[in-house]
Amino acid sequence: MGTTAQPSTTPATGSFLNDMLDVFNVIHDPDGVFKRVSDRARIVAPWVVLSVAVIIITILTRPYQQAAFDAFKSTLTPEQAAKMGNRGAGGGPLGLIFTPVVVLVMLAAGAGVLWIAVSITGTQARYKTLFSVLAYSTITYVLFALVGVMVLTVRGKAGITGFEDVRPPLGLDLLVPSAGLYLGGVLNGINPFSVWGVWLAGTGVSVTHRMSRGAAIGATAVAYVICLLIICVPLLFVAMMTKQ
pLDDT beyond 90 at 108: yes
Residue 5 has pLDDT above 50, yes or no: no
Q: Domain tally for the chain?
A: 1
User: Cβ atoms within 10 A of the Cβ of 241, count?
Assistant: 13
Question: What is the rounded distance in angstroms from the CA atom of residue 239 to the CA atom of residue 95?
Answer: 23
Give the count of beta carbons closer than 10 Å to the beta carbon of residue 216: 26
Instruction: From residue 135, give the alpha-carbon distance in Å to each of 33, 220, 223.
Output: 12, 13, 14
- Check residues 44 and 5 and name the one with the higher pLDDT: 44
Helices of type H across the chain = 10-28, 30-39, 44-73, 78-84, 92-97, 99-120, 127-137, 139-155, 181-188, 192-209, 213-231, 233-242
Q: Is the pLDDT of residue 44 over 70?
A: yes
Please give the residue that has the higher pLDDT: either 176 or 162: 176
Q: What is the mean pLDDT of the chain?
A: 86
- Residue 108, domain extent: 16-242
Q: Could you report how far apart the first and last alpha carbons of the chain are, in Å?
A: 80
Confidence class for position 218, pLDDT limits 50, 70, 90: very high
Q: Do the domain assignments include residue 11?
A: no
In a domain, 9, yes or no: no
Would you place residue 2 in the very low, low, confident or very high pLDDT band (cuts 50, 70, 90)? Answer: very low
Give the span between the Cα atoms of 161 and 148, in whole angstroms: 16
Average pLDDT over residues 89-105: 81
pLDDT of 244 above 60 = no
pLDDT value of residue 8: 46
The candidate with the shortest Cα–Cα distance to 173, out of 161, 186, 160, 162, is 186
Is 224 domain-assigned?
yes
Q: What is the pLDDT of residue 174?
A: 87
Residue 52 is assigned to a structural domain of this protein: yes
Interval 63-81 mean pLDDT: 74
91-95, 114-118, 229-233: range with lowest mean pLDDT: 91-95
Mean pLDDT of 178-190: 87
Q: By CB neighbour count within 10 A (0-12 exposed, 13-18 middle, 19+ buried), where does 157 fall? A: middle
Residue 83, classed as helix, strand or coil, is helix
The pTM score is 0.83
Q: What is the pLDDT of residue 176?
A: 86
Residue 7 lies in a domain: no
Residue 59, amino acid: I
Q: How many CA atoms lie within 13 A of 73 on its CB side?
A: 17
Mean per-residue pLDDT for 182-191? 91
Model confidence band, residue 1 (pLDDT cutoffs 50, 70, 90): very low
pLDDT at 220: 98
Domain presence at residue 57: yes
Condensed to tens digits (0 to 9), the pLDDT of residues 193-210 reads 999 999 999 999 999 999
pLDDT tens-digit map of 118-141: 999 999 999 999 999 999 999 999
Q: Would the pLDDT of 12 be above 90?
A: no
The answer to whether residue 5 sits within a structural domain is: no
The span from the CA of 127 to the CA of 123, in Å, is: 12
Give the separation between CA 114 and CA 101, rounded to whole angstroms.
20
Which residues are CB-neighbours of 1 under 8 A, at least 6 positions away? none
Q: Is 4 inside a domain boundary?
A: no
Q: Please, are residues 164 and 93 in contact by the beta-carbon 8 Å criterion? A: no
Residue 132 contacts residue 114 (beta carbons within 8 Å): no
Q: Give the model confidence (pLDDT) of 25-43 as tens digits.
A: 999 999 999 999 999 999 9
